[in-house]
């Protein structure tokens, strides 16, 4: 079988898994770290303690610049002066 045929069979699976991960990452984060992250239709990362200045414990996934870049509209600019 050629590689194009293989790609046609696996591409829908890859897209489905990517969509599933995008929907599940915030509630899993909220469950693991009790940080306030929730389902996309319930605010997503809107209530996460990583974005509350007074919070002593920050969510480790949302503070990470890679996860922040994936889940927010604007990247984390911590390295700017």
Q: What confidence score (pLDDT) does residue 75 get?
A: 46
What does the pLDDT read at residue 66?
61
Of 64 and 76, the one with more pLDDT:
64
Which pair of tokens denotes residue 30?
A: 């909220």
How far apart are alpha carbons 30 and 74 in whole angstroms? 20
The tens digit of pLDDT for each residue in 3-38 reads 777 778 888 999 999 999 888 988 998 999 898 899
Q: Quick check: 62 pLDDT over 70?
A: yes
Structural domain spans, the chain: 23-81
Burial class (CB in 10 A: 0-12, 13-18, 19+), 76: middle
More confident residue, 1 or 50: 50
Structure tokens at 53: 């200045």
């Amino acid at each position: 079988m050629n590689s194009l045929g293989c790609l046609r069979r696996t591409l829908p699976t890859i897209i489905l898994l990517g969509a599933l991960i995008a929907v599940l990452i915030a509630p899993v984060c909220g469950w693991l770290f009790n940080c306030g992250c929730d389902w996309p239709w319930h605010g997503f990362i809107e209530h996460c303690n990583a974005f509350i200045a007074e919070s002593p414990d920050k969510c480790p996934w949302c503070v990470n610049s890679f996860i922040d870049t994936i889940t927010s509209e604007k990247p984390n600019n911590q390295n700017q002066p």
